[in-house]
Amino acid sequence: MPSPDSEPTLSGARPATKRAAGARTTDPPPWQSRVPLLLAVPAAVALLFLVLPLVGLVIRAPWAEAGDVLTGAGALQALKLSLITATVSVIIVLLIGVPLAWLLARPNLRGAALLRALITIPLVLPPVVGGVALFTVLGRAGLLGRPLYRLTGFAFPFTPYAVILAQVFVALPFLVLSVEGALRASDRRYEEAAATLGARPVTVFRRVTLPLIGPGIAAGAVLAWARALGEFGATITFAGNFPGTTRTMPLEVYLALETDPGSALLLSVLLLGVSVAVLALLRERWVNRW
Amino acid sequence: MNTTLVPKTGKSLVLIALAAVLGLLLSACGGGAQPQATAPSPSAESSSAGGAITVLAAASLTEAFTQIGKDFEAKNPGTKVTFSFGSSATLATQIVQGAPADVFAAASPATMKTVTAAGAANTPKDFVSNTLEIAVPKGNPHKITGLKDFGDESRRIALCAPQVPCGAAAVKVFAVAKIVPKPDTLEQDVKATLQKVASDEVDAALVYKTDVIAAGDTVDGIQFPEAQQAINTYPIATLKNSKNPAVAQAFVDYVLSPEGQAVLAKAGFAQP
């Protein structure tokens, strides 16, 4: 353990948290020079396992047909629907998920374990089952859907709203769990200090808590967006499958697989390309900001 | 305040990157779940161990073939028939991709052709035919009277996607009837279409007569004359890479035999 005196750059700036853990990230990382084989080998396996299927897609895709397939009305329509619904879903997920995470991370919350188990339900539920479950509540004959339909004549299934509901359902846990993790890891004393200085709870949350857990929220939002973009099972079950209104990219790919596996490969590459591009762009912005 | 934030957020950036990778992986898993549900059972690999065969069959054959499989096993001790039911087009793709299976029963000549054209199946034989029927929720609560209701924009209608056999048959029927259908959803296979009716999410759908019978109490069927113009024949064939061609051929013969045909007739299928 390095003594505080050997860290002159830090010891003055941070007297309160003067610990080895604090110094670690500002030092020139010593582990970069030699990566232990015990870590390097499994890491390489993991990377290959993730990347190889993508390579397979790219190699096997019939690029000669790419022009026709990728500019076809079906593909662009589905891509547009996917991007719009996934983005709207993430906004909704943020609006309701961050407060839920904050509630979960409160110390001494009664029944927190049960609550956390409930929140992970969409993670363990097969998405198709999630779609059926949504039917039972929000379908035209569902618990809430039936009175809604009687009163207004509106029903969620077969509309883009159903696509968004399905995506929010499956994506919400990703945000809640990562934001909760960030909240637990953050230093509560800043909130306490703000509170003792007279800030009201809402002000503490807005001015202290949110900036502290910004990266956690961003990570959760990325997870949720990626999950929403790839959502298939709950969507095809609950929202149906109609071009322009509910047929998102994953559904388009699945349908293309029925008749033209080649174009299914091309569409998959398109979806992956767009999502990776968006994630890379966002990351660039975060790196600049934080 | 600012300086104290640096170390913590540095760690969080790594978290973001990890989270992004994890998210993509997880969402890809979610996407893959559905097609895998219809994938052939891995038990097919053990077919050399005895008289085990794997039969890939159209979703509309689920009830009849499950019964035929039981009868076949009872008549041929030592044999074991494993089924994988799904959209004929999906099954055809899986066979072309080398799925380990012994028999393919398709819901249309077109999907069988995908397999024979790839040289993966022996000469197919037509074994039954099926006609379309209008399916409505039990008691017909939305007062569907006939095929013309499918052209009514205000109604909620489910059809099969034109890429799958029941959807192709529907296209033919609407062309004959000179009706432009206004569907709200184009489902992947006939059972998914039927499910939308059974759960009262749509007013009506076009499915096979056999599906209406199989659905029992949850839906009612309405026959319509144009259905006769789009009769769908089902071909069955043994597959070239069968590990147990003798049992595969015996199963096909049993399906074509009077006993097999009787089970199929009871399920609502007609002679080819």
Residue range A87-120, pLDDT digits in tens: 999 999 999 999 999 999 888 888 888 999 999 9
Q: Is B157 helix (H, G, I), strand (E, B) or coil?
A: strand
Q: Which amino acid is at A269?
A: V
Q: Does B214 share its domain with B152?
A: yes
Q: Is residue B257 part of a domain?
A: yes
Mean pLDDT for all residues in chain B: 83
Q: Is residue A3 part of a domain?
A: no
Tokens 């934001």 identify what position?
Answer: A179
Q: What is the pLDDT of residue A179?
A: 94
Q: Does B215 share its domain with B89?
A: no
ipTM score assigned to the predicted complex = 0.71
Q: Is residue B246 part of a domain?
A: yes
Q: Is residue B75 part of a domain?
A: yes
**Cα B163 from Cα A97, distance rounded (Å):** 39
pLDDT at B7 over 50: no
Rg from Cα positions in chain A: 23
The pair of three-digit structure tokens given for residue B180, joined into one six-digit string: 């432009």
Task: Tell me which chain B residues have a C-beta less than 8 angstroms from the C-beta of A275.
Answer: 24
Which of the 8 DSSP states describes residue A14?
A: -
Count CB pairs under 8 A between chains A and B.
Answer: 165
Rg from Cα positions in chain B: 23
Tokens 């113009």 identify what position?
Answer: B229
CATH code, domain carrying B144:
3.40.190.10
For chain B, say whether A182 makes contact (Cβ under 8 Å). yes
Residue range A22-43, pLDDT digits in tens: 444 555 555 556 778 889 999 9
Indicate the pLDDT class of residue B190, thresholds 50, 70 and 90: confident
Domain that holds residue B261: 49-129+233-266
CATH code, domain carrying A124:
1.10.3720.10
pLDDT at A19 over 80: no
Lowest-pLDDT range of A59-68, A209-218, A246-255, B9-18: B9-18
As a whole number, mean pLDDT of residues B136-146 equals 93
Q: What is the pLDDT of residue B135?
A: 96
Q: Does B139 share its domain with B198?
A: yes
The share of chain B scoring above pLDDT 90, in percent, equals 64
* A-proximal residues of B, 74-93, CB under 8 Å: 87, 89-90, 93
Q: What is the pLDDT of residue A27?
A: 56
Q: What is the pLDDT of residue A67?
A: 86
**Cα B67 from Cα B88, distance rounded (Å):** 19
Task: Report which of B104, B108, B62 is spatially closest to residue B85, judged by C-alpha positions.
Answer: B62
Q: Is residue B22 part of a domain?
A: no
Q: Does B224 share its domain with B197?
A: yes
Q: Is residue A4 part of a domain?
A: no
Domain that holds residue A140: 73-289
Q: What is the pLDDT of residue A33?
A: 63
Q: Does B170 share its domain with B204?
A: yes
Residue range A2-13, pLDDT digits in tens: 444 444 443 334
Residue range B72-99, pLDDT digits in tens: 999 999 999 999 998 888 899 889 988 8
Q: Is residue A13 part of a domain?
A: no
Question: What DSSP element (H or E) covers A93?
Answer: helix A73-105
Question: What DSSP element (H or E) covers A173?
Answer: helix A160-185
If one counts every other C-beta atom within 10 angstroms of the C-beta of residue B195, the result is 21
Domain count, chain A: 1
Lowest-pLDDT range of A7-11, A263-267, B112-116, B212-216: A7-11
Q: Is residue A62 part of a domain?
A: no
Residue range A269-283, pLDDT digits in tens: 999 998 888 888 877
A21: exposed, middle or buried (C-beta count within 10 Å: 0-12, 13-18, 19+)?
A: exposed
Spacing of C-alpha A117 from chain mean position: 18
**Cα B22 from Cα A50, distance rounded (Å):** 10
Q: What is the pLDDT of residue B256?
A: 96
Q: Is A143 helix (H, G, I), strand (E, B) or coil?
A: coil
Domain count, chain B: 2
Q: Does B193 share its domain with B262?
A: no
Distance from CA of B43 to the nearest CA of A (A): 23
Tokens 């500002």 identify what position?
Answer: A26
Lowest-pLDDT range of A279-283, B176-180, B197-201: A279-283
Q: Is residue A133 part of a domain?
A: yes
Q: Is residue A48 part of a domain?
A: no
Q: What is the pLDDT of residue A286?
A: 66
User: Taking the CA of residue B124 as centre, how many other CA atoms within 13 Å lie in the half-sphere pointing to its CB?
Assistant: 26
Of B4, B28, B35, the CB nearest to A17: B4
Q: Does B173 share its domain with B206?
A: yes
* A-proximal residues of B, 138-197, CB under 8 Å: 156, 158, 161, 163-164, 183-188, 192, 196
Q: Is residue B86 part of a domain?
A: yes
Residue range A133-179, pLDDT digits in tens: 999 999 998 999 999 999 998 999 999 999 999 999 999 999 999 99
Q: Does B160 share its domain with B219?
A: yes
Q: Does B223 share its domain with B93?
A: no
pLDDT at B43 over 80: no
Q: What are phi and psi of B201, to 5 degrees?
A: -85, -20
Q: Is residue B118 part of a domain?
A: yes
Q: Which residues contact B221 (CB under 8 A, 6 or more apart)?
A: B133, B134, B135, B136, B209, B212, B213
The pair of three-digit structure tokens given for residue A38, joined into one six-digit string: 């015990």
Task: Report which of B111, B75, B76 is spatially closest to residue B94, judged by C-alpha positions.
Answer: B111
